Structure 1
Amino acid sequence: MKIIVIGATGRVGKQVVSKLAENKSDQVLAGARKPENIEKGSNIKPFKIDLHDTKDNILKVLPEADALIFTAGSGGKDLLQVDLNGAVKVMIEAAKRGIDRFVMLSSKGSLTPDSFSGDNPSPLANYLISKHFADLWLIKNTALDYTILQPTTLTETPGSGKVSLGEYTKNENSIENVADVLAEIVKDDHTIGKILPMSDGATPITDAVAEV
């Protein structure tokens, strides 16, 4: 299977690349603005992609693949250009390239407007607004076979291999657990069309994905 990872040098993306690359029968097409920083591997093929670029230029650099995992983020520094517009441009061009399977790394609250509205909005309101409209575009304006993963706060703690999918049982997610879930759901067609809340939990990842 050929799988694109957009944001391959980010906190989550680089771990997704590592996890996918463990299966030597898969080819990981790892995209980032600085491809020289992408992990080296016999089945990892780096490519340069700049989410500020035009749709036409994004299409030119986007490889042919069976699936795409979007993990890119600006870290709050460039929300409209990267987290929103960059994501939408990749969706549009992935469809043109014939890449139907699209897994979006989103966030808890992205599709709950009250979390970023009213008198007491989330401190991450602007980030959630960007993710909100990117997620809505994916759902409403594409025919892609999408899955949207909505983790809570990301932490640098080692992954336990156990999570909760479909509900929140904790307020945090190990980045390693998030990466492992993304690598699992991209190959599981029964997660297509689903929006998956996620937190660290008590269910082994393979079982949790099978049960959603």
Structure 2
Amino acid sequence: MKIIVIGATGRVGSQVVTKLAADKDNLIFAGARKPENIHAPSNVKPFKLDLYDTKDDILKALPEADAIVFTAGSGGKDLLQVDLNGAVKVMIEAAKRGIDRFVMLSSRDSLTPDSFSGANPSPLANYLIAKHFADLWLIKNTSLDYTILQPTALVEKPGSGKVSLGEFTNSENSIENVAAVLAKITVSNNTIGKIIEMSDGESPIDDAVAEVK
């Protein structure tokens, strides 16, 4: 399978690349603003992708592939240009390229407007707003075979390999677990058209993804 990972040098994206590349039948295109920072096995092909570029430039940059995993983010530094507009541009150009499968790393509460509204909004309100409209664009304005993953807070700790999907049973997710779930979702057709809540939990990842309905 040919899979593009957008944000391949990020905390999550770099681990998604590693996990997908473990299957030697996969060819992974690792997209980043600085692809020279990607050091990977022979079935990983780094390429330059700048989310600030025009749609035409993004289309030219995208390789032919079967799926895209979008993990890019600005770290709160440029939410409109990267987390919102950058994501939408990739969706639009993926469709033109004929890449139908689109897996989006989002966030808990991205599709719950009350979490970023009212007198006491989330401290991540602006981030959630950017993710909200990117996710809505994916759902409402494309015909892509999407999956949206909504994890709770990402933490840098070893992955347990066990998660909860479809509900929040924990306030944290290890980054390794999130990357493993994204990799599994990408090759699991039963997750198409699903918005999946995620936290660290008690179910082995393969079993949890297989049980998504």
TM class, shorter-length: over 0.9
Q: Which residue of 1 aligns with 2:87?
A: 87
Q: CA RMSD in A?
A: 0.4
Q: Which residue of 1 aligns with 2:203?
A: 203
Q: Please, what TM-score do these two structures have when normalized by structure 1? A: 1.00
SS for the counterpart of 2:163 is strand
SS for the counterpart of 1:72 is coil
Give 1:143 deviation, angstroms: 0.1
Unaligned stretches of 5+ residues in structure 1:
none
SS for the counterpart of 1:177 is helix
Give 1:38 deviation, angstroms: 1.2
Q: Which residue of 1 aligns with 2:170?
A: 170
SS for the counterpart of 1:103 is strand
1:15 partner letter: Q
1:122 partner letter: S
SS for the counterpart of 1:40 is coil
1:209 partner letter: V
Give 1:40 deviation, angstroms: 1.9
1:116 partner letter: F
Q: Which residue of 2 aligns with 1:114?
A: 114
Q: Which residue of 2 aligns with 1:18?
A: 18
CA distance in 2, matches of 1:38, 1:207: 31
Sequence identity of aligned pairs in percent? 80
CA distance in 1, matches of 2:15, 2:39: 10
Give 1:159 deviation, angstroms: 0.2
2:135 partner letter: D
Q: What does 1:31-180 correspond to in 2, within 5 Å?
A: 31-180=31-180
Q: Does the 8 Å contact 1:14/1:39 carry over to 2?
A: no
1:31 partner letter: G
Cα-to-partner distance string for 1:116-141 (whole Å, 9 max, x where unaligned):
00000000000000000000000000
Q: Does the 8 Å contact 1:164/1:208 carry over to 2?
A: yes
CA distance in 1, matches of 2:39, 2:174: 20
CA distance in 2, matches of 1:82, 1:37: 20
Give 1:39 deviation, angstroms: 2.7
CA distance in 1, matches of 2:211, 2:38: 33
Cα-to-partner distance string for 1:55-105 (whole Å, 9 max, x where unaligned):
000000100000000000000000000000000000000000000000000
Cα-to-partner distance string for 1:34-55 (whole Å, 9 max, x where unaligned):
0011132110000000000000
Q: Which residue of 1 aligns with 2:184?
A: 184
SS for the counterpart of 1:179 is helix
SS for the counterpart of 1:47 is strand
CA distance in 1, matches of 2:195, 2:39: 29
1:153 partner letter: A
Q: Does the 8 Å contact 1:59/1:94 carry over to 2?
A: yes
Aligned length: 212
Runs of 4+ residues over 2 Å off in structure 1: none
1:172 partner letter: E
SS for the counterpart of 1:19 is helix
Unaligned stretches of 5+ residues in structure 2:
none
